[in-house]
A and B are shown apart, each in its own frame.
Chain A
Amino acid sequence: MNAGVKRLSRYRRHRYAAPALLITALISLGATFQVASALPNSSRMESTPKSTLIEEGARIFAQGCSSCHGLNAEGAGIAPSLIGVGAASVDFQVGTGRMPMADMSQQAMRKDPIYNEEETAALAAYVASLAPGPAAINEAQLTYERDGNTAEGGELFRTNCAMCHNFAGQGGALTQGKYAPTVMGVEAKHIYEAMITGPQSMPVFSDKTITPEEKLSILKWIKSAESEPNLGGASLGRTGPVTEGLLVWTLGLGLLIGIAVWLTAKAR
């Protein structure tokens, strides 16, 4: 060992060594941070992908959502706070095109989504970063084909959902112009997210009320109802007896009366 090293090791045991090291470390850290944040935007790629996603989300949010939800998603008079609603809610609302809301009607309507998948994910990440909440679902998590039970799902749907969404998931009216939309043709992950976030007048179905396995069964039932052929002929909208009554007065009795008129018409 040479003398220099020895001297260093002697300083190491000096009683000011620890505080001095700490200060040096802090200063250098601060200096690095200063330099890093002073760098132009292009070099942001070097930081973690997660935080960029959040920032990207924050940027989109400021442009597209803050006018209603407030600059920091804290909510404003016209729209609720999004703090703590979680990525699932954003993924559902933006993914089904409900948000950004087009007009302040009774209920945000489903429409073609305005943001693509990455932008939606960014918005979700941003809102999730504000406070913890239910995470967004990706399709791979939804193993309903394997783990669901159609019949059980049907029972659960009729018990929990049919009072608003109709027995065949065709949707129905609620009071004051609100309505439960059809659940046919909705992406599986959005159905799942609707259950865990409870958009608007829809209740939240926590994992205690409906377990994750049961939710998968509901998904499986909805998907099987979607593709079920109309076993009895034309479905008449699967809405029950009203359309049947209309048909019988028009086509049924109408046709019979038409024939009666024809049979009794005088030959000319």
Chain B
Amino acid sequence: MPERQPLPSRPAPSSRRRFGRRTWTDLGLQSGALVLAFLLTSVILLVAGAPPFQAYVEIAKGAAASFTDISNVLVAWVPLLLASAGVLVTFAAGLWNIGVEGQIVLGAVLTTWVLRLLQDTSLPPAFIVVLAIIAGIVGGALWAALAGILKTFGGVNEIFGGLGLNFVATALTLWLIFGPWKRPGIGSMSGTEPFPEQLGLPTVGGERLSLWSLGLGIVAVIAVYVLLERTHVGLRLKAVGLNQRAAFLLGVPTWQYALLAFLLCGGLAGLAGAVQVTGVYHRLIPSISSGYGFLGLMIGMLIAYKAIWVAPVALFFAALNIGSIQLPIVLKLDSTLSGVLQGALVLFVLLVEGARQRYSRRAPSTMVAGPVPGTSPPDDVGAV
């Protein structure tokens, strides 16, 4: 009976009581982590022989110097918003949806498929685009469901399932781009034949930014926030994430909720893929997900699974990404510098969080919840 499936492995153990109120001390600690991350990156820059301060100035300029820059940041913001909102749902249910990357890809693939299928019909273009986006959502959700089913019924840990499915998704895109969907003549890494302009989302002022996708991203984040904080579905997802056995005994249909979390996350990831195709690239390209899925997972960890922080943190990451594009030209630095900074940031935030928990177990009048397995004594008669 699937109701007796093994417990889902939990994300970071501390996620268990991440639903409390964030205090000012926490904020102070997080800013400390930010400073440390910049320090570490500066050291790396110095070692590489580049002036750190100038590099940061260049990043800031690259992200906000012109309307184009700002709109590019927003363009990168949308898929990040969607991916991180999605992983929050799976995190809440205690699941590491590593497969989010592949779910973005599948969203893009299905969107492309529907666009290709319908582009020569006489249907109104707007209708085709809407259908294509829905197909993208479905594609992402199904790909996630696959990871979920592998886990629930096949006993495959979602991390391994997700990783495998990511590879399959990448292979699938490459095959499509160089095989059945290749451009007339030769297939190339630049992707499939671009769709006509009317089959894309309308953009603002000649930039790649579409208010539609921006709206979708923001609505998704708000919806996830409301879902997790204000609804019974969210509460049950958290219950499943925190203690699956007890949730089941208290009457929560656990595997169904785990699957639901996958579906929701996959749907949002698929939407991200659909937006990349219809709003940004207007075709399927080999690296359509651009690592936004993994970045979304990082953001999820960084913000300690609190939906309210998705928007600003994702914006910061988007700005870093776009801002550092100019680095190779100006400072002869690799643009992956933003990756270093982001990685350092996540590491330091997790480190500071670990330290905070250690500290708070000591500090007077702080909650000593101590559910981190093995670090706190069970209650006297807790278990026999």
Are A and B co-members of a single complex? no
Chain B interface (Cβ within 8 Å of chain A)? none
